[in-house]
Structure 1
């Protein structure tokens, strides 16, 4: 698996005229299949994602005795961080560059001016400066979060009449699927990025907005949403004639991301090898919450107290009544019940000492995953 991973990463270590990875036939958004057909188009988003992946993979290379590869990955990560900042458009980050160097996801464009994943992954990668991360997410709030219709758009305005041809995305009706609708996979990253920045009140508000049950509370909402209230929809329409209607269900990876955003990004529970961390980002109005987690045959009860009504910051932690490091609470599958108490307050926002990206977390998870349930 490791060899497969590094081969994929090595193949991605390309650079175009702006020093960013080549987009090829597309990137995460396969509707952008005509941004770089001549082999010169570049993806800002792949740059952010690759920055996160390199940060997670370099230490693993070192642990496996491959010091030259680890050094190469660290150097490439540093170079990428510098080049990505040149994609700053003034109020948000650009999304890509066409073969001829024309920017996509820029205020210069008449359509597709802003794309959410170039902003969220600026935050999630940990590469963007704090002030620019906050400005980029402020632009997401302004241009992409539609509280009235309960959707978080992938991009805006949708492609329709522009002379630019980013790909088959332009074949969708404006406001449908990737073309300016909500693509829930990307919308979940908006919530996670807000949590990463410490905006617990807003993160949970938008998490509830994405929850399909909250689109089906009344007969009129059911009539509008038109899909199952118990399954995450991969997309939700924003076309005026179908605004708020759910799209495809049951097939989407956004369900897994919703689970991770809720459990890891908001409630703050993350397993890392033989330890776990509790670093929540919650609404300031929550006085307490608990998580019942079964690790193998062993039940863990995790109680988080918030006496100062904060969104984040861990003051102390205890395991079975003894002080514990909230960044490394030991795991033991001994079949006996364990109780963890975490108190929020003035302390480190991220107990591990540095932000952890989703790529870090994915690389650190052993094969046996937790099976938690949370109680407010």
Structure 2
């Protein structure tokens, strides 16, 4: 065990790193953040921030010397960086685990190798691959860059083979892509779990997710799905974590079709937006669980204490001024979380709030009223 008083290194300074840092400091750890943005959300609350690119060899060497263990808050860190750090210090998750989730093509192949079903898709690496990719799916479809896309970025809807060619050549600048078939969705759900170095796991309650313009808007917990679907999703997520040899907190997003199929959408090798409800509605948050897992402490309980709706706050809500936070704060069962980002802009995640109630329906109603009032202010 790496006990409180030790120093944890966090690569990445965004809101996930911020909430991890807060959880770590509650437990008595010191946290050093490596992040090029000098005003990063995580750097604001960490003990120290190294302001440097993620692949700065000199900064990485000094960073590793000062850490007892290192973890991450996002997946797009070069695997070579984690391999180098692992020569000096324990690193969780591993470079090998991240490398399988950084590229959608590799990720989907991995999902299939685990005996699970991804969304029907085709691979486009060159213009000549478009015809083969189109033959593998039915339109309408979504063309996605294989790397670096998130929150709706790097993807467009295409309805014909001609649009797929145009999207590949122009919008995606001939980067490797996947062409994913749009499926007949009943809902989207996600599973957040933690796995330790001994392969033991703890799974959080399944979340039902609502997206707007490709960005998560709300997570509803417990998810309104049949119990067998929830169990199957948790079992599938555990299988993926085992096959990755994963250590840390992992999230898996699923599509549930109207025909009852469970399809794996994406794997996130980190804490996840859809797991933010755990801060206020579970005995242990996903961020505390990440601290516990990478430090090889016993797991905390993942018990859900109350039905909850988590609502994202994007820069769109800001408009020309700071929102009227009394709209949230006057709700005694809602909890506001702001990320310390200076500039609000449309589509940027600036914060979230969680609304707890006796039932999902009551939480949804209260959250809807709060969000509408914020948007009008």
Task: Give the structure-2-normalised TM-score.
Answer: 0.28
Kindly indicate whether structure 1 or structure 2 has the higher relative contact order, using CA contacts under 8 Å at least 6 residues apart.
Answer: 2
Task: Give the structure-1-normalised TM-score.
Answer: 0.28
